[in-house]
Structure 1
Amino acid sequence: MIRSRKRRIQAQIIMALTILCSLVVGFSTGFVLSQTFNTDIKGDLTNFEPALPTQILDCNGELITEIFSDEKRDIVPITKLPKTLILALISREDLTFFQHHGFSFRGTARAAWNVLTGSYFSGGSTLTQQVAGRYYADRTDISIFRKLKELWYAFQLERDLTKYEILELYANDMYFGHNAYGVEAASRFYFGHSAEELTVAESAILVIQLASPALYSPINHPERARSRQKDVLDQMVANGFTTREEAEVSFQNYWNNYDFSRSNIASAYFDNESKAPYFSEYVRIKLNDMLYGAVDINKDGYIVHTTLDLGYQRIADEIMSKAFVDVNEKYRTLKGKRLSIADDVYVPIADLLALTFNLEDMKVAGAKQKKAAVDSFYTNFQPPLEALSLLFGSNDIMSVARFAGTKESSRIKKNFIEGALISMDHRNGHILAMVGGSDFETKQYNRAVDAKVQPGSSIKPLYYSAAISSGKFTPATRLYDGPIVFYDDMGNSYQPLNYLGTWDGSVLLRYALATSMNVPSLQVLEGVGFETAIDRISKLLGMEDRKEDRVLFPRSYPLGLGVTSVAPINMVQAFSTFPNHGKRIEPIAITQVLDRNGNTILEPEKERLREMQKNRGKDLQIMSPQAAYIMVSLLQSTVEFGTLRWRRINVGGFDGMPMAGKTGTTQNWGDAWTVGFSPYITTAVWLGFDTPGNSLGREITGATAAGPIWAEYMKKVHAGLEPKEFERPSGIVTVRVCAESGMLPTKLCDHTIEEVFIAGTEPKQLCPIHSFEQERDKELVGNLQDILTIEDFNVDTSDSLFDSSTLPDINFSDDGSGGNDTPDYNPLLE
């Protein structure tokens, strides 16, 4: 009896509310009509632009990533959405959607009934009203006026749009939780696939997010979501929208494959992963610079076509990921061996001297024990401290653990070898691949672009090119490799050493560059002069505006061994000039930017070309095509017989593709480089430390560490390209010269080679070395005959006592270095 009376009262309340609602609607319609009489619904919706992410595409149209701030949204036509999603939506939100004209008395009454009876909460608004409220009203305003305004626009929507157009607006605009707006973004976030592939159970999960994603998130509250999902599936079965069997099977499949380990702080924003994170961030910064103040790339839905080739990027990522592991493991092993030798040999001697002569500063044992204690703390005590702090909630314990963690992080940072790889098509400047470090998520520092590190010996070809352009030097110029003291204009002396302090004596320029000799290289620098060399270096690096910076480009001989600061992108630009016939080519990442409607708003590549043609003209030609070709030929020798020879051999050759390049290792072996190119692509690889002053060790050099990475990458990315030779311009002559003097050979020259020259710079004189040696030998023999007067001592004068054929020749097939490039300095001089 009591229950029946309660229901009767509830029914009366509902009836009263419905009548009151009708009266309010009737009295207020005129007022609202006066406010919205001239509303153009179609026009308003056409001009309405929901927030869309900016899509970054590679050169083949493949999605690299999306840029957005707080809203992740993708538009999908209603015709591509599965029927199960629409049926789940109307089952949960508006069962009479296809029958009403914007307002449902039944839906309003049902919502009131559910509230009064304590059933699940549901709104009384139709889908049309929800769309109207989102587009035309402030839904945070809880007032009758807002409801009336929302109702009026719902009627207009029903008048001007079809039911499916209203559904499309709803599905693409509503919030589904975790920063996902619209069913496409929500489906990809929650399930990892397009909304076009939604199952019945997945559709049910999505529609319950519309009521309250905070309450029913399957990530944060899986059990609660499971229960509400089951209610929706039961409703769909009751309404005849699906069968009981289909609903049960879909439900079980969903939860059997559910990932309960997924982070509860997941969101579409944080889950957004880039297939090329360093490149994506580089593009984002460039976009902001291009469109500064005019647009919001996080919401305006641009389509950005870039130069990146995701095929090349995957190869680069794979090779660099492995290299980071291998080179750091090698570094730790070698460092351990060095420390072991020091402990076993030098520590006892130092301690003995300290005790004998009472020299406190020389005591090592105490420092060694202290270091061992610190290492033990990091390894054995820090993890338990962190666990205890969490268990007991002690801030004091946590402070100790965090302090220790900070110290350890700093120590790891100082001793972890980082690196970068950047690859570019030197024919057009397109950046094809970019790796800026080992871990983008931890530190978004793009070493490929932003690093300021020393290039070491890889800088040598830059001023060698100035020497070739001057006509004073050719590949056959004879240089001297031996102890020499150089003096700059200020009278400062500088005496470089080669690797292990060995000398080769007389060498030709080609051999000196291929094997990275220091003294001959500085002779070349001295020959062209600092100002000419710096002018060429700065132009090639794209840093011409800073050539007067005497800190960056010191007028001293260490510059010739790489004492300056560059980024890998600068080195790629510099080396790309050689295979590009001496023309400047600047790296470019973005080719075209479209708005959400497909209209072109930016074409950076075309704009750049027009600007270059208009304003720069001859400035683009840094060196003549002939000088550039000579540099290409010289750098091919590095791969053929110089410091990259073993890298070529180790990858099994380059399948007929010509390659050229240069290695580099800096002071104290702090940075390792390889920069090189084919007729198609230029690539730079750098390895080193983020914290300056640390040493890789003599075993980790440009040739032994960066070289293998460069060789493997170049081998793989050229696998599908047709081999072709570097283009040879007119004005190049090939001349046979003496391999020892570089001059025209005589019949006395036993070892000759073919060499290339810019026409007019080829040698004109005959080699004097061997004829001089012959005359010298004859004179020596004559002198000996005069001295040796013993009657029975016979001297055979038919042959020279000094056969020049027995003298060592320059070996152009193997430099004997085993792939190690010459370091820039002897650290003993530092």
Structure 2
Amino acid sequence: MELITGQRFKQTRKYIRAVIIISAMAFLLLLLFLSSILIYAKILGPPPIAVPQSTIYYSDNNRVIGESSHGQKRYWEGLLGISPDLINATIAVEDRQFYSHHGFDLKRIAGAVVADIRAMSKVQGASTITQQYARSLFLENDKTWSRKLNEAFYTIRLELNYSKEEILEGYLNTIYYGHGAYGVEAASQYYFGKNAKDLSLAEASMLAGIPKGPTLYSPLENFDRAKKRQQIILASMTKMEFITNKQANKANSSPLLLKGKHLIVQTQMAPYFQDAVKQALKSQLQLDERTIELGGLRVYTTLNERQQQIAEKAFSTTIRADSTIQGALVAMNPETGAVQALVGGRDYQTSPFNRATQAVRQPGSTIKPLLYYAALENGYTPSTMLKSEKTTFKYNHDQTTYSPSNYNHQYANDEITLAQAIALSDNIFAVKTLFYLGLDSFIHTIHRFGITSDMKSVPSLALGTSGIKAIEMVNAYSILANGGKMVTPIFIKKVENAKGEVIFEQQDVAEQVLDPDRTFVMTQMLSGVFDEKLNGYTKVTGNSVRSKLTRPYAGKSGSTSTDSWMIGYTPQLVSGVWIGYDKENKLEKPAEKGYSKQIWADFMENSLSNQPVQEFKETNQVTGVYIDPKSGKLSTSDCPVARLTYFVSGTEPTEFCPSHSKDEEQLEESVPLEEKKSWYKRVLRFWE
């Protein structure tokens, strides 16, 4: 018996030793396996945690005018931008051991397993905040083993590569709160109409309960169920000593004012303008489409909301709703190039084609100020005389002829001044000037004004037959309005990324590209478009809107058979309006040809109604004298009309109106304006 007992004892020891060895090997293998997973996870590095976020567009006074969300409302906020009560409520209900575990709460997992076994079904979850974050970032919500293993692996990667604060911030900005709201900022605005940092304890504890079941616990869907969950959260916060019993009771009894609306953007303002902003993000910042649409950018634009509304109203009140005619408007700050209002068509929903920035149309006579600026550089003055009469021009070595005509075939059949030719929009004067300058010289000048559209080298170029975009034409006039400094159309002031970092900020740089004295002379001549003193064989082209204007303006209208334009400016604002049909049908009705001037006048007057009246300030090297508009010479007291006209100093006329003699009284009449204003200079001159 003793022998048998000893053999059994030896056999038992053998089994125990085997079990120990196998267990040790299994433990080592498990340890090696876990170590391999950790090493592999570390080698892979941090998983990408970028999620789609709404890009927000702001006007020039930092009001929201639009956003791109594609069905997911999400606005990223750092932990400092989230109510501490909401952070604590989330930890209390979702993961009490968040700061102490490494992605998995083993005690909680064990408790959940026991509860599930007792109930013979899944009744309790054990997912930590990190696990939920991993699931929302990378996985579907199916219940397969492969999904659970992937979730565990992503959880490890998150814990190894990100801090607890980064994980918590990502979770709060990623989790779904129902009704299309992703993240706490969108949810807080939707449910309570306020930012996440401004939530009260009552609101925070209600919001923290929603992610467990966005449909089940939405206070808008089932308030009673949501209220019970809020009470559980408040009790949990009290147990963790985040709040006191008194605070919990007060929050539980506090009434909740629910909104149920996404408040960031309820209506998209200026859709054509926003399209232009997106194009600028691509071309200036080299951003791709996905980053622009879902990158969580904060784009601060140049849009003036008041001017935009005035522009849209000007179109709707001027043109009948059932008309198929189209139009565009661009308004800019001439000092900076900032585009303050833009209309690209009459109905964005019907046609998103942006006629302000994309359509290439014939500018007609609005091109003439560029032509005449070049003429001023080549010896012309406002008193330069050319004959206005039916003319056939020969060019291309006399092989080709060109016979332009004036509007309604009206001509002076006599010499007229440059100042009057601009005001009456005389085509013969323009083409004669072009032949004097040369086509290449004029095309060069057009490019100096920032216009990049291709120009056809033909005589009709003087009459605006080569297509140009509306925004290019308005920008060219901005250069005249600001005294000859080059500006380019600007839509964006600043761009921030999802982290709030400034990735672009516009710098104001204006290079002097035109002579300031000649630029002022050109502006002063363009003011003659609205001055009846320059009426001649026909009325000045701005006559139809002259009565509407209450301040000094410079401008020019233009028309072809298919296009109608009006572009003009003050020192504070420049705007241009184009009217026409998309298929380039002819403008047959007289009213259609007048739309551009009416819309322009309404827009400018209403836009500037809250700003002081500003005169165009003369430059140092210009001289103002009173001129007889018909002869272009110094006026006398006997001249029926005398108009103050500016010249580059030294080029002003010295002869008087030919039908009058020069006497002392006439000499006084012709004294330059600045000398009349500065009488003391004349007195001091006696002592020199």
Give the TM-score normalised by structure 2.
0.73
**Equivalent residue number for residue 360 of structure 1:** none
Deviation for aligned residue 1:273: 5.8
Give the partner amino acid of 2:541: T
**Equivalent residue number for residue 548 of structure 2:** 650
SS at match of 1:578: helix
Distance 1:722 1:768, change over 3 A: closer
2:474 aligned with 1:563 = no
Give the partner amino acid of 1:740: K
Give the partner amino acid of 1:714: M
**Equivalent residue number for residue 326 of structure 1:** 317
Give the partner amino acid of 2:479: T
Give the partner amino acid of 2:425: S
**Any conservation in 1 of the 2:345–2:353 contact (CA below 8 Å)?**
yes
Deviation for aligned residue 1:171: 1.1
2:383 aligned residue (476, 485, 489): 476
Q: Distance in 2 between matches of 1:696 and 1:142?
A: 73
SS at match of 2:449: helix
**Correspondence 1:96-135 to 2 at 5 A:** 103=105, 105-106=107-108, 109=111, 113=115, 123-131=125-133
Q: Distance in 1 between matches of 2:559 and 2:268?
A: 32
**Correspondence 1:297-696 to 2 at 5 A:** 297-298=292-293, 301-306=296-301, 308=302, 310=303, 312=304, 314-329=305-320, 415-471=323-379, 473-487=380-394, 489=396, 490-499=399-408, 501-506=409-414, 507-543=416-452, 546-547=454-455, 553-557=456-460, 559-593=461-495, 595=497, 601-602=503-504, 605=507, 621=513, 623-641=514-532, 642-644=540-542, 647=545, 649-650=547-548, 653-654=550-551, 658-667=552-561, 670-695=562-587
Q: Distance in 2 between matches of 1:218 and 1:599?
A: 34
Give the partner amino acid of 1:715: E
Q: Distance in 2 between matches of 1:564 and 1:29?
A: 78
**Equivalent residue number for residue 6 of structure 1:** none
Deviation for aligned residue 1:291: 4.5
Give the partner amino acid of 2:360: K
Deviations, residues 70-97 of structure 1 (Å, cap 9, x unaligned): 8653333445534664576457644776
Q: Distance in 1 between matches of 2:107 and 2:300?
A: 51
Distance 1:235 1:514, change over 3 A: same
**Any conservation in 1 of the 2:497–2:503 contact (CA below 8 Å)?**
yes
Deviation for aligned residue 1:211: 4.2
Distance 1:595 1:495, change over 3 A: closer
Tell me the C-alpha RMSD between the 2 structures. 4.7
**Equivalent residue number for residue 77 of structure 2:** 76
Q: Distance in 2 between matches of 1:691 and 1:274?
A: 28
Deviations, residues 757-796 of structure 1 (Å, cap 9, x unaligned): 234433355544679xxxxxxxxxxxxxxxxxxxxxxxxx
Give the partner amino acid of 1:444: P
**Any conservation in 1 of the 2:234–2:248 contact (CA below 8 Å)?**
yes
Deviation for aligned residue 1:675: 0.9
1:278 aligned residue (272, 275, 286): 272
Q: Distance in 2 between matches of 1:154 and 1:555?
A: 67
Distance 1:95 1:696, change over 3 A: farther
**Any conservation in 2 of the 1:327–1:417 contact (CA below 8 Å)?**
no
Deviation for aligned residue 1:733: 2.7
Q: Distance in 2 between matches of 1:575 and 1:749?
A: 33
Deviations, residues 7-62 of structure 1 (Å, cap 9, x unaligned): xxxxxxxxxxxxxxxxx999956632454279889x969x9666555555555555
Deviation for aligned residue 1:571: 0.7
**Correspondence 1:764-779 to 2 at 5 A:** 764-765=654-655, 767-768=657-658
Q: Distance in 2 between matches of 1:87 and 1:25?
A: 38
Deviation for aligned residue 1:531: 3.7
**Equivalent residue number for residue 409 of structure 1:** none
SS at match of 2:631: coil
Distance 1:217 1:741, change over 3 A: farther
Distance 1:492 1:116, change over 3 A: farther
Distance 1:145 1:25, change over 3 A: farther
Q: Distance in 2 between matches of 1:73 and 1:25?
A: 45
**Correspondence 1:247-266 to 2 at 5 A:** 250=255, 253-254=257-258
Distance 1:91 1:470, change over 3 A: same
SS at match of 1:672: strand
Deviation for aligned residue 1:644: 3.4
Q: Distance in 1 between matches of 2:255 and 2:29?
A: 49
Q: Distance in 1 between matches of 2:318 and 2:63?
A: 32
Q: Distance in 1 between matches of 2:188 and 2:503?
A: 31
2:648 aligned with 1:758 = yes
Deviation for aligned residue 1:632: 0.5
Q: Which runs of 5+ in 2 are unaligned?
A: 1-25, 239-246, 533-539, 662-688
Q: Distance in 2 between matches of 1:303 and 1:33?
A: 43
Q: Distance in 2 between matches of 1:25 and 1:172?
A: 39
Deviation for aligned residue 1:121: 6.8
SS at match of 1:699: helix
Deviations, residues 599-632 of structure 1 (Å, cap 9, x unaligned): 66555647x77xx7xxxxxxx63x4323212110
Give the partner amino acid of 1:676: G
SS at match of 1:649: helix
Q: Distance in 1 between matches of 2:121 and 2:600?
A: 67
Give the partner amino acid of 2:369: P
Distance 1:246 1:736, change over 3 A: closer
Give the partner amino acid of 1:320: A
Deviation for aligned residue 1:634: 0.6
Give the partner amino acid of 1:734: G
Normalized per residue, the structure richer in helix is 1
Deviations, residues 88-116 of structure 1 (Å, cap 9, x unaligned): 64576447768988516457645885798
SS at match of 1:664: strand
SS at match of 2:564: strand
**Equivalent residue number for residue 242 of structure 2:** none
Q: Distance in 1 between matches of 2:120 and 2:353?
A: 55
Give the partner amino acid of 1:422: V
Distance 1:706 1:204, change over 3 A: farther
**Any conservation in 2 of the 1:739–1:752 contact (CA below 8 Å)?**
yes
Give the partner amino acid of 2:278: R
Q: Distance in 2 between matches of 1:166 and 1:238?
A: 25
**Any conservation in 1 of the 2:434–2:459 contact (CA below 8 Å)?**
no
Point out the more displaced range, 624-633 or 232-241.
232-241
Q: Distance in 1 between matches of 2:117 and 2:327?
A: 62
**Any conservation in 2 of the 1:103–1:129 contact (CA below 8 Å)?**
no
Q: Distance in 1 between matches of 2:158 and 2:412?
A: 90
Give the partner amino acid of 2:582: D
Give the TM-score normalised by structure 1.
0.62
Give the partner amino acid of 2:458: R
Distance 1:751 1:274, change over 3 A: closer
Q: Which runs of 5+ in 1 are unaligned?
A: 1-23, 260-265, 333-414, 548-552, 613-619, 772-830
Deviation for aligned residue 1:150: 6.4
**Identity across matched positions, percent:** 29
Deviations, residues 690-713 of structure 1 (Å, cap 9, x unaligned): 232142620233xx4223433343
Deviation for aligned residue 1:478: 3.5
SS at match of 1:743: coil
